[in-house]
Structure 1
Amino acid sequence: MLDLIDIGKRFLHIKPGSPRIGNGRGIYFSVLPFSTTVPGGGTAIITSTTAGFYLGDRKDTYMSKITFTPYWNFKQRFGLPIRSYIWLNQNKWVISGDTRLLVYPQHTWGLGRQHKQEEKLLLNYSYLRFYQTALRRLFRGAFAGIGYHLDYRLNVRTDDNGTLLRDYTAYAYGTSAFSNSYSSGLSLDVLFDTRNNSINPWDGYYASVQYRINPSFLGNDHAWKSLYLDIRKYIRFNPYAHRQNMLAVWGYLWAVLDKKVPYLDLPSIGWEDYNRSGRGFDQNRYRGRNLIYLEAEYRRDITHNGFLGFVVFTNANSVSGPKSTFLISWNPAVGAGLRIKMNKRSATNIGLNFARSMHHSTFNLALGEVF
């Protein structure tokens, strides 16, 4: 296997050290600074850092990961997102975290297909997210637990064009001008995960169900509930080969179960846990009370040493709302990408992806696989 670290060592004439004997509890860092366009317009400097590590013997403990992807556009826009997926010794517990402090603007398009692509509305607000879940192993691959989830958006307002969010969306909750949107809830979580490396899965299954309750005693203006179901399958065409040749399939269903849900907490494309869905679409392009997302990606190595690879993918989503019938109206996209091995010890790739939908295209550079 060959990665960018090996190439760097050769270029700098650094001799590799002697192989270590042990349980492999090292920390494997991958860092990628780059500049890219961001939702809402403009360009930002992003530094994506991924750390993969083991908190037990790798024979019976999966690789944990922490990602930190701060960005800044040298003006009033910045983001400090930290996400973690931690496997404790012998996979007895899995702990997931998502903490973000973000300062926007971002575009929105209302509900369903309410507005055309060019009729977008610019929103400004600051956003604090704090999600933590802890799940205990029931039997091999199966876990159950609880979580806490906070979504706090401050000073939600539209751009200075005279259009109010409530009038634009015809939606009454969480759309008042210069208001705060606050949601605080508890969740019941069930997980089935047999991927030994969530940074770059080669095989296994992933399935999670989360039932979130936002009661009024936690400070919510209106009590509401949501359901999130996420399923992924990784199929290797030759399980004994060292080169990657596989199909990855992903789907999720996200639904709110009450009427008085803040607008920005409604299911929206690109707003699942890791903001990876919807390649080929603007983030927030489709929003509604119900959202289903499907994606399939073929992954294959180009070189025998695993340094270069490629992917081709397609995805589609369906959302409920004006001019959009759930499970009847679909929004498709297609794309392809190049993979460069950044760190072979954690199997971290640099991914360059281009995707195209009917009215939009996206180019994305990131560390790690999309799912």
Structure 2
Amino acid sequence: MNKFLLIALCCFAPLLLKAQTPTDTLNVVDIDTTGKTDLLDIGTRLFKLKPRPKTKEKKQFYFSILPISSSVPGGSKALVTSTTAGFYLGPRKTTYLSSVTFAPYFNLKGRYGLPIHSSIWLKDNGYNIQGDTRFLVYPQYTWGLGGGQSEQDRILVNFNYVRFYQSVYKRIDPSFYVGLGYNLDYYFSINTNNNPTPITLAQFTGYKYGTTDGNNSFSSGLTLNFLYDTRQNSINPIPGIYANLIYRINSHVVGSDNNAQSLYVDFRKYVSLNKSDDGGKNLIAFWTYYWTTLTQGTPYLGLPGIGNDPYQRSGRGIEQNRYRGENLIYFETEYRKDITHNGLLGFVVFANANTASEVNTHRFAYINPAAGAGLRIKFNKKSDTNICLDYGFSKGYNDLVIGLGEAF
């Protein structure tokens, strides 16, 4: 009963938030970059290049490219080339900034990935189109279900992964959207051959769906989506609210191996601590999500897991997939502050915690915390894109992650 009360509360949260918005028309703030500095400005001055043109063009594109050597989801170092494009497809006073992120990576240990994320806002925010496409070769550790395992209680799982998620949202009110989508997850060549002691994934986890050694796992389903979004810029949100509910139905009718249902509810709030608009960035951000399977049949690799959220940004300071269960609750808060008045440098301090349900009791028995801090360097002031260097730590683990755009 408590589980369904929580689901009901999450479902109605976006509507309650909407009721607090008295306006019937969207008024997007056009961010003033006068007096601001980014790395492109510094490069222009240093190499005496032609100044960047000042333009009011509605469909101006803003690119940010960062080739780095950094950690990738699942652990180990890899060469990553992160590219973010921000652009407007309508008048800036009535249209949010669209974004596309492409971050391919590879290393010399058999791991590589080609992930593409997109959020496209059409003119006057009439529609929002969201996409998530990935092809991954992914040897990765798993610790089974729940949260009580030690760091050494793990096995290595080899698999390849194809993901294709597409959703279309239609605007109902100024910031409220309803949409439909299609989600496909294909895990293939699943095996545990590289472990010192022979053991299958089914034996280690005690879970029967999608754990047969050498087999494939195919999940295909339709989604019903609800979205409330006043952030204006998802690359670097300014004060606002984001709430998203995704109800997924995998079915034999659309080719899925098993019939299964799941729910993902995501809520974020950004609160400015400035007393005026000219004090630079000074805000606190909150993020929480609840991810649950509503029926049996979800394959093991598709179960709720830390770092496996849609943008793989949760759990900084914790290894991806470290905690997994049929239900997962996550919370994070982050303080963001400019160091320099021109916005070139900033810093963040963050803390997060998660809890995954236990395999037999389905209880949330363990809370797994992490914390850290990071440096921000403005790469492109027009799209407000930062280079983010985050150091996070938790019990028995620490990591430095470098990327473009805020974690949430």
Identify the TM-score tier after normalising by the shorter chain.
over 0.9
Structure 1 length normalisation: TM-score? 0.96
Q: Provide the residue aligned with 1:197 in structure 2.
A: 233
Q: Provide the residue aligned with 1:100 in structure 2.
A: 134
Task: Tell me, in whole angstroms, the C-alpha distance in 1 between the residues paired with 2:301 and 2:279.
Answer: 44
Judge conservation of contact 2:71–2:399 (CA < 8 Å) in 1.
no
* Residue of structure 1 aligned with 2:341, choices 284, 304, 316: 304
Q: 1:249-328 residue pairs with structure 2 within 5 A?
A: 249-322=286-359, 326-328=363-365
Aligned AA (1:62) = Y
Consecutive unaligned residues of structure 1, counting only runs of 5 or more, are none
Q: Provide the residue aligned with 1:221 in structure 2.
A: 257
Secondary structure in structure 1 of the residue aligned to 2:372: strand
- Assess, with a 3 A threshold, how the Cα gap between structure 1 residues 14 and 157 changes in structure 2: closer, same or farther: same
* Residue of structure 2 aligned with 1:243, choices 256, 280, 288: 280
Q: Using the TM superposition, name which of 144-153 and 8-17 deviates more.
A: 8-17
How far does residue 160 in structure 1 lie from its aligned partner after superposition?
A: 2.8
2:37 is the counterpart of 1:2: yes
How far does residue 97 in structure 1 lie from its aligned partner after superposition?
A: 0.1
Q: 1:1-371 residue pairs with structure 2 within 5 A?
A: 1-17=36-52, 19-20=54-55, 22-74=56-108, 76-113=110-147, 115-161=149-195, 162-238=198-274, 239-322=276-359, 326-371=363-408
How far does residue 118 in structure 1 lie from its aligned partner after superposition?
A: 1.3
Judge conservation of contact 2:74–2:319 (CA < 8 Å) in 1.
no
Task: Tell me, in whole angstroms, the C-alpha distance in 1 between the residues paired with 2:54 and 2:138.
Answer: 47
Secondary structure in structure 1 of the residue aligned to 2:42: helix
Consecutive unaligned residues of structure 2, counting only runs of 5 or more, are 1-35
Secondary structure in structure 2 of the residue aligned to 1:264: helix
- Assess, with a 3 A threshold, how the Cα gap between structure 1 residues 18 and 174 changes in structure 2: closer, same or farther: closer
- Assess, with a 3 A threshold, how the Cα gap between structure 1 residues 73 and 324 changes in structure 2: closer, same or farther: farther
How far does residue 18 in structure 1 lie from its aligned partner after superposition?
A: 5.0
Q: Using the TM superposition, name which of 355-364 and 279-288 deviates more.
A: 355-364
Secondary structure in structure 1 of the residue aligned to 2:204: helix
Structure 2 length normalisation: TM-score? 0.88
When the two chains are superposed, the root-mean-square deviation of aligned CA atoms in Å is 1.5
Secondary structure in structure 2 of the residue aligned to 1:146: strand
Aligned AA (2:133) = T
Task: Tell me, in whole angstroms, the C-alpha distance in 1 between the residues paired with 2:191 and 2:338.
Answer: 46
Q: Provide the residue aligned with 2:25 in structure 1.
A: none
Task: Tell me, in whole angstroms, the C-alpha distance in 1 between the residues paired with 2:75 and 2:237.
Answer: 32
How far does residue 329 in structure 1 lie from its aligned partner after superposition?
A: 2.1
Secondary structure in structure 2 of the residue aligned to 1:179: coil
- Assess, with a 3 A threshold, how the Cα gap between structure 1 residues 176 and 275 changes in structure 2: closer, same or farther: same
Judge conservation of contact 1:290–1:326 (CA < 8 Å) in 2.
no
Task: Tell me, in whole angstroms, the C-alpha distance in 1 between the residues paired with 2:405 and 2:288.
Answer: 19
Task: Tell me, in whole angstroms, the C-alpha distance in 1 between the residues paired with 2:356 and 2:135.
Answer: 27
How far does residue 74 in structure 1 lie from its aligned partner after superposition?
A: 4.1
Judge conservation of contact 1:148–1:185 (CA < 8 Å) in 2.
yes
Number of aligned residues: 370
Deviations 1:349-369 (A, max 9, x none): 000001111221121001000
Task: Tell me, in whole angstroms, the C-alpha distance in 1 between the residues paired with 2:350 and 2:111.
Answer: 31
How far does residue 271 in structure 1 lie from its aligned partner after superposition?
A: 0.5
- Assess, with a 3 A threshold, how the Cα gap between structure 1 residues 174 and 18 changes in structure 2: closer, same or farther: closer
Percent of aligned pairs with the same amino acid: 52
How far does residue 191 in structure 1 lie from its aligned partner after superposition?
A: 0.2
How far does residue 42 in structure 1 lie from its aligned partner after superposition?
A: 3.8
Q: Using the TM superposition, name which of 24-33 and 305-314 deviates more.
A: 24-33
- Assess, with a 3 A threshold, how the Cα gap between structure 1 residues 167 and 18 changes in structure 2: closer, same or farther: closer
Deviations 1:291-339 (A, max 9, x none): 0000000000000100000000100001101499644521111110000
Secondary structure in structure 1 of the residue aligned to 2:124: helix
Task: Tell me, in whole angstroms, the C-alpha distance in 1 between the residues paired with 2:52 and 2:39.
Answer: 17
Task: Tell me, in whole angstroms, the C-alpha distance in 1 between the residues paired with 2:361 and 2:37.
Answer: 47
